[in-house]
Structure 1
Amino acid sequence: MRKLILFLITLVMIGCQTQTTKSKEEKKNTNEKNFAQLINFVDTYANETLQKGNINAIGLAVYKNGEIYHNYYGAINEEKGKPNDSTHFEIASISKVFAGSLVAKAVLENKIKLEDDIRKYLKGEYPNLEFEGVPITIKNLLTHTLGFKERRPPKMDKIWNDVSKGEYENKSITYAVDDFLEELKNVELDKKPGTYYMYNSVGSEILAYILEQVYQDSFENILDKFLKEMDIHDSYLEGCRPRSEHIIDGYDENGQLASKTRNILLGAGGSMIATLPDLIKFMKFQLESKNPLIKESTKELYLDREGDKTGYLWDVGYAKEEGFYYKKTGTSDGVQSVILICPDTNYGLILIMNNTSEKAYRDWANLYNRVEVDLIKFPRKNLVSVLKKELLENTDASIIEYKKHIKNESEYFAKPGDLNRIGYQLLRNSKVEEAIKIFKLMVDQFPENSNVYDSLGEGYFTNKEYNKALKNYEKSFVLDSTNTNAEKYILKIKKLLE
């Protein structure tokens, strides 16, 4: 009898283990399926962005719960074609957060202190680097709160501007660290350090010089050792290697070939060149490593008057859904980039393009926002993206499907902007009645959003239903009195109805 009982217990245990294994396997398959759908949406958003014609090429990477995906879209130009893993990007001010990480490391190693007067590390006398007895500190360099009257010393500023004009494409820059240190003796402070934010690259260059003093090594070597710790081998400071043929061509505001980045000083201010795979390794390091410098480098050091926070050259913050996050953007003359890290919700995003026009920037920012929303909501799926084809081709039936599925909040979400894009695509396709139905759905789903009434107003206006258009524009203006578009159409419609 005892043997029989033991046998039955064994069967039950095996059954439970099989069920548990099966459950884990099913969960894994579901996660993989959800992530596959996510990246399918990401690809769609990127290709839709390119279709607007303002961006040549895009490099994009996402990280969510240990899963990583990256891809390239468009073409650098007609000759060079699509970017790839060997393409080198100018990451401009993203270079600063690498320097910030090195400073965090030095602080943890007690090499420097945040409250140190920077003159402790400068050779020579600098009585000017204080205001009303308050000196510039390491923390001020990290948070862009130096108190300088001008953003950069004059000679440095001229060379900076001349580089942007392409005047140093084929000649050496005759400005060295000694010249920079000499100029620092004459800069004027008109604000108390630590009290006023003015974005600059001077602080990070001074930090690079200070790191050289405390480690008795070149900034290039200090940075290179740090990069190798993250298995990063194909990223470097401009000028420290022969110029690669793989550096991407960028295009300026006028669509003309932009001048390439040049390293004016030590390179901490914005002279790094990186591949997308290397940036992914940096993102993975931020999200997976337990290295204490990550926590140190991302802690809040300064809060400005607008409520924006700064860490060790990172922009840091907290959002309701994302939790704690930190990010950095970089803008060279021809390349725009961003890296976002959200440790609380375990996701990251890198987005790079090789255009810097205003229209390109707007499209780039919209793409960033669309991808980030899907990352925040994951594993919930964007219902508008799921139903996009049906919403465009069979609007009535798909609206019914939308209303049915949106109630399942654990699986789906929707944003007014996504429906708005569908509505305007229908308008462009001369499907005005269908567009109005989508805009009415927006009003039903997001009644407190001013823009949904503005869009419905435009739908009715296009259909020459002026009284209905007026009613919706007026509602939009009540919800948002800064909506100049609604105000304009209210006046226009009233004249038509006179």
Structure 2
Amino acid sequence: MKNSFKHFVKSIVIGCFLLFSVVIDAQEVKEIAMVENNLLPTNYFRGEKPYNLKERMAFYHVPGVSIAVIKDFKVHWVKHYGVADEKTNQPVTENTLFNVGSCSKGVASLTALSLVEKGFFTLDTDVTTLLKSFELPFNELTKDKIITTRLLMSHTSGIRHAFGVNYSKGSIPTITNRLKALASDKQKRFFDLVPGTQFQYSNPAFGVLQQIIEDCTQKHFYEVVSENVFTKLGMIKSSFKQPLDADFEQYASAGHNIHSPLQEKRYYTPNEAAGGLWTTVDDFAKYLVEIQLSVLNKSNKIISQELAKEMTSPQITDAYGLGLFMRKVAGEDYYGHMGDSRGFFAGFLAHSTSGNAVIVFTNSHESPELIREITKSVGYVYDWEGIAEDPIDVISLSPKSLEKYTGKYRTGSDNSLSISMKGDELIYNALDEKMFCVAQDTFKIKSRAGYIAFKRNADDEIDGVSYMIADELGRMPSNEFSGNRMKQTDLIPSELVLTDNYMAAIDQYKSIFEKNSSDRSVSESRFNIMGYRLLQQKKIESALAIFKLNTELYPNSWNCFDSYGEALAVAGKTDEAIKSYTEAVRLNPAALNSKERLNALLENK
């Protein structure tokens, strides 16, 4: 692979004139200019001017961008902007590699499916029969459940989410050690949902998938991807190896914070399957085109049409296929992903059948909105189904009328929505963003899909709200949030617990649990995290109250008693700590941490 990349770079230099004569014809120049000068936010309101790419890169502090547009199952054009390293001013070129974060998951899934194709396992094989180096830490939630690669790749395995951890070049642990560390984290359970019941985005699930691939093949994950995907598709500018070999690293962009390159320029992850891919937009396009063609049975270099359809179809939930988010845009089916890592952000969107797609890579963590704006511009220029919509009409309201919507609304058992005025504008406080009235009592914001709709009472006064707003990665919540206006002095439980009146929060949490024990606001993992956060904030009594509540609501969880014992020990309540650790050991005789802490307390008593 090293020699192939060197040869490719030499051929690029020799054939530079030929390359640009292909890309830069008159029509494409016109189309590229249209894309560059018609950047649009998620919600584009009538009367507002489109953005210019150069201006938006400066606005979001993004040093470098690469864009690839796919049309009719072929790369239509590729263009690069800015610098790969702000300190050296090295430009972004066709050879510049970006880390694409979670966009890696689709390539990892294709790799797993290639092994399904070869008979290593099926999508529904019990993964405990495949894992040799790591044992899944099952609990009562997984009783009588089978974990499969389908569940892992569709984020429905019940394995909790954990943000990716990036390491400097010389300190990268193995995926096995990373998984064992997550499994032994007593603040958070490895499985926190019943497998196969609902979508929960999970980086560790893809770490388990990586471990399965390595255990089944007895090879490094990056080697398996290279053999089964990169080589077959001619992706010679792509690598999952952590850290990158020198031949690749010399072409890799630096990651950037808001004003400068990262201290070490590039960081790496042991969870390669979840976020370790380094590649270029044109190489990534080869992978994406192959998936598009495989679905139509027009190319099956890696997997069959049947498996390609599995990959690009909703699985347990409508939100996700296998390594891909499912997008429904104005009735049209798309799939795509956003991905971030330290100093990088990437994204792509592909139509399910038309052969159209756009890929955008950046070397700044501040660029998800920029990626969406570029994607929308491409959709408009090429008249993509569902993307090229008319601007949204805005209803003009006076500041006095807008003032009526301000306030605080309780939108869940432990959630609230806050709306305020800034000058003459109505502001969605969660994002500090202006709200635009698009229908009676209904508003949108520029940067995120969704809506905020207010409700009136019998006296025609605003007294409630319902809303759905996408997250930073463009994912819509599964359910609408709604609720009634609160007094500004009213506090939700998570706010109360920070006050001297923390026991009022405990009473509210008990009431929530009695009404609906599956409410996420009263989950065991949430209380455990909350308790440790309170300990860190030196709010000892509040922390003890939360940990104790957890043992009362989840009396069969050894972890709850272990955490409560730790908090009691911190508070100097040795006898009570001993009782709590004793109960943890009774519930789980294999709880080594609880045994060690219990023995230490007994010895020092």
User: Scaled by the length of structure 1, what TM-score is found?
Assistant: 0.63
CA 1:259–1:316: 2 relative to 1, 3 Å? farther
**Bigger proportion of residues as strand:** 2
> 2:34: which partner in 1?
41
> 1:387: which partner in 2?
none
Identity %: 20
Amino acid at match of 1:341: A
Q: Which has the larger radius of gyration?
A: 1
| Residue 361 of structure 1, aligned match among 368, 376, 398 | 368
CA 1:257–1:312: 2 relative to 1, 3 Å? same
Measured in 1, the distance between the counterparts of 2:282 and 2:145 equals 43
> 1:395: which partner in 2?
none
The answer to whether the 8 A contact 2:267-2:342 is kept is no
> 2:129: which partner in 1?
120
Question: Aligned-pair distance for 1:349?
Answer: 0.4
The answer to whether the 8 A contact 2:255-2:344 is kept is yes
Measured in 2, the distance between the counterparts of 1:259 and 1:341 equals 33
The answer to whether the 8 A contact 1:50-1:56 is kept is no
> 1:315: which partner in 2?
325
| Residue 179 of structure 1, aligned match among 173, 177, 188 | 177
Is 2:377 the partner of 1:370? yes
Q: How does 1:198-347 map to 2 (within 5 A)?
A: 198-225=200-227, 226-237=229-240, 238-242=242-246, 244-253=249-258, 255=260, 257=262, 260-265=265-270, 267-289=272-294, 290-291=299-300, 292=304, 293-303=307-317, 308-320=318-330, 323-347=332-356
The answer to whether the 8 A contact 2:333-2:352 is kept is yes
Measured in 1, the distance between the counterparts of 2:364 and 2:134 equals 43
CA 1:78–1:296: 2 relative to 1, 3 Å? same
Measured in 2, the distance between the counterparts of 1:125 and 1:219 equals 15
Question: Aligned-pair distance for 1:95?
Answer: 1.3
Amino acid at match of 1:48: N
CA 1:107–1:132: 2 relative to 1, 3 Å? same
5+ residue gaps, structure 1 = 1-31, 383-412, 417-445, 459-468, 488-498
CA 1:151–1:283: 2 relative to 1, 3 Å? closer
Question: Aligned-pair distance for 1:340?
Answer: 1.8
| CA offset digits 1:117-159 (Å, max 9, x no partner) | 22111237947325232232222211222323x534xxxx7xx
The answer to whether the 8 A contact 2:158-2:194 is kept is yes
| CA offset digits 1:194-213 (Å, max 9, x no partner) | 22332222111211221223
| CA offset digits 1:304-354 (Å, max 9, x no partner) | xxxx52111111244446x33211211012111112221422201001122
Measured in 2, the distance between the counterparts of 1:183 and 1:256 equals 30
Question: Aligned-pair distance for 1:267?
Answer: 1.4
| CA offset digits 1:152-196 (Å, max 9, x no partner) | 4xxxx7xx54x3xxxx435323x3244245447645433211223
Measured in 2, the distance between the counterparts of 1:474 and 1:262 equals 38
**Bigger proportion of residues as helix:** 1
CA 1:111–1:125: 2 relative to 1, 3 Å? closer
Partner of 2:236: helix, strand, or coil?
coil
The answer to whether the 8 A contact 2:98-2:362 is kept is no
CA 1:326–1:457: 2 relative to 1, 3 Å? same
CA 1:265–1:356: 2 relative to 1, 3 Å? closer
> 1:453: which partner in 2?
395
Moved more, 108-117 or 474-483: 474-483
| CA offset digits 1:371-412 (Å, max 9, x no partner) | 22333449xxx9xxxxxxxxxxxxxxxxxxxxxxxxxxxxxx
Q: Which has the higher contact order (CA 8 A, sep 6+)?
A: 1
5+ residue gaps, structure 2 = 1-24, 40-50, 400-423, 426-433, 446-451, 455-605
CA 1:124–1:283: 2 relative to 1, 3 Å? closer
User: Scaled by the length of structure 2, what TM-score is found?
Assistant: 0.52
> 2:66: which partner in 1?
59
The answer to whether the 8 A contact 2:327-2:333 is kept is yes
Partner of 1:40: helix, strand, or coil?
helix
Q: How does 1:462-481 map to 2 (within 5 A)?
A: 476=437, 478-481=439-442
The number of equivalent residue pairs is 358
Partner of 2:77: helix, strand, or coil?
strand
| Residue 138 of structure 1, aligned match among 149, 159, 165 | 149
Amino acid at match of 1:41: M
Measured in 1, the distance between the counterparts of 2:436 and 2:170 equals 60
Measured in 2, the distance between the counterparts of 1:188 and 1:67 equals 41
